[in-house]
Amino acid sequence: MKRVVTKLLTGAFLAGGVLATGCHSFGLHTSNDGAMGHGDPCWPDRYANEARAAAVASFQPQVENGHVLDQTIWNMHFDYGSDKLNGAGMDKLDQLARRRPQPDTKLFMQTARDIAYDAEKPNDYAVKRNELDTKRITAIQKYLTATLTGRPCTFDIQVHDPSYPGIEGAAPRVIIPTPQSRVTGGGPALVAPGGPGMAPPPPPPPPATYGSSGTRP
């Protein structure tokens, strides 16, 4: 009888020890003070979360750069060489002003690159660009004030000089001035879909003609 009681007490003691350790028994280790402890109770969630945060953080600069380009008013949103907004420019500003739950008031504008360059007067190029940039910022502010009637909002417009987004030669380019038009002051030219310096695609074949009987001649 005494032996049975001893076994029961031993089993109860071992069971109590297992319940006390619970899910913390991932292996023993020695702490800095020499005491024996158990493994990390948050494994692997703690380290999976840190790895996930590190992977997502690497995309943050790309997200921010994309947002800046989306908030940019480009040269193509104005009439060539002027501060007059065209239809595309007004549509772009309407899109930015209607953002929900509220518009992002930090806008960007591409510096003027649709002005003529005179090699004999290189300093005039910078002066003309600054003057046109200032006039275009004023035109943007005036249109935003008009389109946001009844719900005023103050916008901060900064001038920058980014490249047009897209992959070179992978898709049709936006309308940009050619070097010749920048020198002569002419209008913009549409770059071929294959990219600058490449031949344009061949014209489509003529439509098929049919005779009076409905068959091709």
| pLDDT for the residue numbered 43 | 87
Strand-pair category, 106-110 with 156-160 = parallel
Are the C-beta atoms of residues 180 and 186 closer than 8 Å to each other?
A: yes
Q: Over 90: is that where the pLDDT of 94 sits?
A: yes
- Per-residue pLDDT tens digits for 132-152: 999 999 999 999 999 998 888
Q: Which two tokens stand for residue 186?
A: 């002419």
Higher pLDDT, 130 or 43: 130
Residue 114 — pLDDT band, cuts 50, 70, 90?
very high
Q: Which two tokens stand for residue 108?
A: 């960007």
Strand-pair category, 36-38 with 189-190 = unpaired
Quote the pTM value: 0.58
Where are the chain's structural domains? 60-168
Distance in angstroms (rounded) separating the CA atoms of residues 118 and 125: 7
| pLDDT for the residue numbered 42 | 84
Residue 166 — pLDDT band, cuts 50, 70, 90?
confident
DSSP the chain: -HHHHHHHHHHHHHHHHHHHHGGG-S-EEE-TTS-EEE--TTTTHHHHHHHHHHHHHTTHHHHHHHHHHHTEEPGGGB-TTSS-B-HHHHHHHHHHHT-SSS---EEEEEPP--S---TT-HHHHHHHHHHHHHHHHHHHHHHHHHHTTTS----EEEEE-PPPSS-TTTSPPPEE--HHHHHHT---EEPPTT-TTSPPPPPPPPPP---TTSS--
- Per-residue pLDDT tens digits for 61-93: 999 999 999 999 999 999 999 999 999 999 999
- Per-residue pLDDT tens digits for 186-204: 554 444 444 444 445 555 6
Mean pLDDT (the chain, rounded): 76
16-34 mean pLDDT? 48
